[in-house]
Structure 1
Amino acid sequence: MSELVSPTTTEAGAESPDAYARSERTAPTRSADRAAYDHETVHSILDTGYVCHLGFVRDGAPVVLPTLYGRVGNRLYLHGSTGSRPLRMAGGTDPGLAVCVTVTHVDGLVLARSAFHHSINYRSVVIHGTAHQVTDPEEKTAALDALVDHVLPGRAADSRPGNAKELAATAVIRLDLTEVSAKMRTGGPNDEPEDLSLPHWSGVVPVTPVYGAPIPSDDLAPGIAVPAYLQNL
């Protein structure tokens, strides 16, 4: 049976200060007992991912774009070209851009004896809120460093920072982690009792990311060794 994760609460049943408050948009309508709202669970899922999906409405139609992100405390930062439509929509004198951001990890393929009960083991986070363009130079620089280090910790200090031209061409948006929840599934298949005797293999195929050996660029200068943060992957 799948492990069930409950939201963090105080003894009185109120939301813990270490958990995000539940809302109508973050409370799942199905398998609600797999949801979690505590900071530790939410942050761990965000911090082990690279790509999020940014959803918003453009010209009355939904749009979802994959993009990199970085977390700093209770804020999520995303970046793109200053000509990017969603980034422009989140800036200027506008009140910000209403968005929904999701991050998902697939941890296993769950194979049941029946087609109906096939599933996946996963960890996911859904964030609702209003994104705003970052205009403060110091916050923007810190956010861009966080984006680089989120993918590979230590890389920001081991690369040339953006120059004035590059920074001018780059926009960053900020989304506060306020209305957010995690949801996950673990464990094996949930077969019907009458299916247990069927002659079909049942179980879980684990899915894990694997890093290969670093491949140097063709024009890398001789004598530049593979940095420790790559060797430690």
Structure 2
Amino acid sequence: MDVATPLSPTARSTIRRGARRARTDRAELYAVLDAGLVGHLGVVLDGAPVVLPTGYGRVGDTLYLHGSTGAATLRAAATGSPVAFTVTHVDGVVYARSSFHHSMNYRCAVVHGTAQLVTDPEERLRALAALTEQLAPGSWTATRQPDRRELAATAVLALDLAEASLKVRTGPPGDDERDLAADAGPSPVWAGVLPLRTVLGEPEPDPLLPAGVPVPPRVRDRSLSRPG
């Protein structure tokens, strides 16, 4: 699907609560997914909902997930039953003049669909490369790739992004007029946004690493680019 194709909400992906915060730009969806490290996969297992965190990677309009072939959640997801996958970034805590209007600034993507078990060897490698690069850019080609035994122990699922939604909140609190009017009184309540950012720290070498092995650019450059 082309990046210019807007998101087309279905009955289950239509944002109803806070609909003004819905986004339809597919490029925005990609940006939110590409900026994340962890998503949450929701499946029905033995008649009950289960939501677990997992890494992921994106290639075009497909999300790839992976895990042990023995994982019950992945086996359940691969049966063709509906699943949901979410990625959320919290960008700030919104302090309002009333407790009711406290909120968060966030970007949240939700994907609905049926996951497909990936069996093609070439696609499996592309998927695992995407998963690795999502977590640690530059590491797929710089490290040993999975051997036959490791590949046999790994399940890879593909989830199409055709049915997805994106919801974004930005800006200051949305206080009621009565609370805004109270600002003119003797004790106005502070309101605003406390930004929240994820930062990368200093690389910490493995204690088993030989002395003098330098931090490679793929790690060092990410560390140097951290905010602050």
Question: Residue 37 of structure 1 contacts residue 180 of structure 1 at CA under 8 Å; is this kept in 2?
Answer: no
Query: Which ranges of structure 1 fall in alignment gaps of 5 or more residues?
Result: 1-15
**Cα distance, 1:181 vs. partner?**
1.1
Query: Which ranges of structure 2 fall in alignment gaps of 5 or more residues?
Result: 223-228
**Cα distance, 1:89 vs. partner?**
2.9
Equivalent position of 2:208 in the other structure: 219
CA root-mean-square deviation:
1.4
Aligned mates of 1:143, 1:17 — CA distance in 2: 23
- Give, as a single letter, the amino acid of the residue that structure 1 aligns with 2:197: T
Aligned mates of 1:90, 1:30 — CA distance in 2: 27
Task: Please show how residues 96-175 of structure 1 align to structure 2 within 5 Å.
Answer: 96-175=80-159
Equivalent position of 1:68 in the other structure: 55
**Cα distance, 1:187 vs. partner?**
0.1
Q: Could you say which structure has the higher helix fraction?
A: 2
Equivalent position of 1:20 in the other structure: 7
Question: Residue 15 of structure 2 contacts residue 165 of structure 2 at CA under 8 Å; is this kept in 1?
Answer: no
Structure 1-normalised TM-score? 0.88
Aligned mates of 2:191, 2:33 — CA distance in 1: 31
* Of 50, 74, 79, the match for 2:66: 79
Structure 2-normalised TM-score? 0.90
Aligned mates of 1:25, 1:222 — CA distance in 2: 55
**Cα distance, 1:222 vs. partner?**
2.8
Question: Residue 97 of structure 1 contacts residue 132 of structure 1 at CA under 8 Å; is this kept in 2?
Answer: no
* Of 10, 28, 44, the match for 1:57: 44
Q: Indicate yes or no: 2:25 matched with 1:41.
A: no
Aligned mates of 1:191, 1:137 — CA distance in 2: 55
**Cα distance, 1:59 vs. partner?**
1.6
Deviations 1:79-118 (A, max 9, x none): 0000011222344xx4x23100011000000000100000
Q: Which shows bigger deviation, 178-187 or 192-201?
A: 192-201
Q: Indicate yes or no: 2:172 matched with 1:206.
A: no
Q: Which shows bigger deviation, 52-61 or 69-78?
A: 52-61
Aligned mates of 1:81, 1:37 — CA distance in 2: 34
- Give, as a single letter, the amino acid of the residue that structure 1 aligns with 2:76: M
Equivalent position of 2:219 in the other structure: 230
Please give the secondary structure, in 2, of the residue aligned with 1:167: helix
Deviations 1:163-217 (A, max 9, x none): 1111111111100111001000000011112212252211100001110010001
**Cα distance, 1:224 vs. partner?**
2.1
Percent identity for Structure 1 against Structure 2: 51
Aligned mates of 1:135, 1:219 — CA distance in 2: 36
